[in-house]
A and B are shown apart, each in its own frame.
Chain A
Amino acid sequence: MRPDLTQPITMDTFLRGIWRENPVFVALLGMCPVLAVTNTATNSLAMGVSTLFVLIGSNVLISMLRHFIPKQVRIATYIVIIATFVTMVDYILQAFSPAVYAALGAFIQLIVVNCIILGRAESYASKNAVLSTAVNAAGMGLGFTLALLMLGSVRELFGMGSLFGVPVFGESFQPWLVMILPPGGFFVLGSWLLLFAWWRERKARKALVEEAAHAR
């Protein structure tokens, strides 16, 4: 049994997963689905929402059971719970959206080993109350979904000239095939990281200049 360190729920509980601790752009976690299934905006959204569902469901259950799970068997328990929710997503997608299921293929099952989910379970759900866990997991899941969408939209836009399957550029557009192939994933991810790094550095430089101005 572990000490309960429930933190009060603030806006930050939710927002940190989207911005300050974004699993993809800041923590660089879960790179396998990030690179593999973001070739279209639709696939990205489906993958993001599936992960969001597994993240909230499994972490809420883990948080509910946190006082009963001895630490010696916690990882085994977490994996069983996560796998349960992944199986649920698997069946639901097969039943209601076979096209998306076919496009995502094995990556749905691979959500079991997504380190974002196990990481949240170990570092948050096992120490916090149910509501706080749900809010934090929702933020993290949304952050992951947004990041996937940011990659998927850019790749589909340039790689197929469409967005969510709707043509954008018209007939004469020659698609950049490389964008929907694996190298395109690395390229777009790198570009986003570059943009964020540049933005962070600019902010830091501004802060430094201001500090110097105040010191004078």
Chain B
Amino acid sequence: MNEQPMVFAEPKAPSSFLLVRVLGLVALISGLLIVLIYQWTLPSITEQRRLALEKAVFQVIPGASQLTSYVVNAEGVHAKDSGTSGPALYAGYDAEGKLIGIAAEAAAQGYADAIRLLYGYSPECQCITGFSVVYSRETPGFGDKLVSDPAFLANFDALDASLNADGSALANAIVTVKHGTKTKPWQIDAISGATVSSKAVGKAINESAQVVVPAVRRHLNTEGRL
């Protein structure tokens, strides 16, 4: 007797066309949903970004009521839509149209990741008047003291950023020194326990100010406007 081997019917695989059709349909539904939400949230997102930036700029240029955006690089200050690339620069004017401060973006490597910040420069006192952190991943409890430690913030009441004789660079490089050893007005007293983060702030501001401050001085017209 010869026994027939048992044959299991393989379930028929669906055609590739069906698979493609299903995937295409699902992708279409997904795309529609995303476009709907994108269109719906876009105005709010743009508004939120503008508010966040404005808040940061007004924080470092206290008293400003109007802002103008520029782009700055080694060649000088350019209008925002002039097609030149470089870090953003904001000029803050008071209600009478008097320039009261410049805010510029700066960045340097911190302890965990790059720290990006916005600092304020006052042409009147030729000094850095404050900064706000735009992006930071510093250790909670240590590196985030940058914006909360009163002794550290006191460094920026009037951090000297005057130019050298020919106006090509800062007279004295801004530098972060070890906690408790600040003796000169262009030095930043580091936070004890957050030296790396403090140094990053000093380095970011120095690198940016060496370019920004001379460029701003060259572009200031006789009425003190950019």
A residues with a Cβ closer than 8 A to B are 39, 61, 65, 68-70, 72-73, 76-77, 80-81, 83-85, 87-88, 91-92, 94-96, 98, 159, 175, 177, 180-181
CA gap between A39 and B140 in the complex, in Å: 10
Picked from A39, A77, A84, A87, the residue with its CB within 8 Å of the CB of B22 is: A77
Whole-angstrom CA separation of A180 from B142 in the bound complex? 12
- Tell me the nearest residue of chain B to A77, going by C-beta: B26
Q: Which of A76, A77, A96, A177 contacts B140 (CB 8 A)?
A: A177
Smallest Cβ-Cβ distance to A177: which chain B residue: B141
Q: Assess A87 versus B37: contact at CB under 8 Å? Given A65-B26, A70-B14, A177-B140.
A: yes
Query: Can you list the 6 inter-chain pairs with the closest CB atoms, starting with the nearest?
Result: A95-B44, A95-B41, A84-B30, A177-B141, A91-B41, A88-B37
Contact among B22, B38, B52 for A91, CB-based, below 8 A: B38
Sample (28) of A-B pairs whose CB atoms are under 8 Å apart: A68-B25, A69-B26, A70-B14, A72-B14, A73-B19, A76-B23, A77-B23, A80-B23, A80-B26, A80-B27, A81-B26, A84-B30, A84-B33, A88-B33, A88-B34, A91-B38, A91-B41, A91-B45, A92-B37, A92-B41, A94-B45, A94-B48, A95-B41, A98-B52, A177-B140, A177-B141, A177-B142, A181-B141
Residue B9 is within 8 A (CB to CB) of chain A in the complex: no
CB distance from A86 to the nearest CB of B (A): 10
Per-residue A-contact encoding for B1-36, CB less than 8 Å = 1, 0 else = 000000000000110001100110111011001100
Q: Which residues of A contact B23 (CB under 8 A)?
A: 73, 76-77, 80
Instruction: Given A72-B13, A95-B41, answer yes or no on A81-B19 (Cβ-Cβ < 8 Å).
Output: no
Tally of A-B Cβ pairs under 8 angstroms: 67
Given contacts A68-B22, A72-B14, A88-B33, contact A96 B44 (CB under 8 A): yes
Chain B residues near A68 (CB, 8 Å)?
22, 25
Chain B residues bordering chain A, tally (CB within 8 A): 25
Q: Decide if A73 touches B45 in the complex (CB within 8 Å).
A: no
Closest A residue by C-beta to B39: A91
Q: Assess whether B85 is interfacial by the CB under 8 Å rule.
A: no
A69 to chain B minimum Cβ distance, whole angstroms, is 6
Other than the given A70-B19, A70-B22, 10 more pairs (CB < 8 A) read A39-B140, A70-B18, A77-B23, A77-B26, A80-B27, A80-B30, A81-B26, A91-B37, A180-B140, A181-B140
Instruction: Decide yes or no: A94 and B30 within 8 Å by CB, A73-B23, A177-B140, A177-B141 being known contacts.
Output: no
B139, CB-defined interface residue at 8 Å: yes
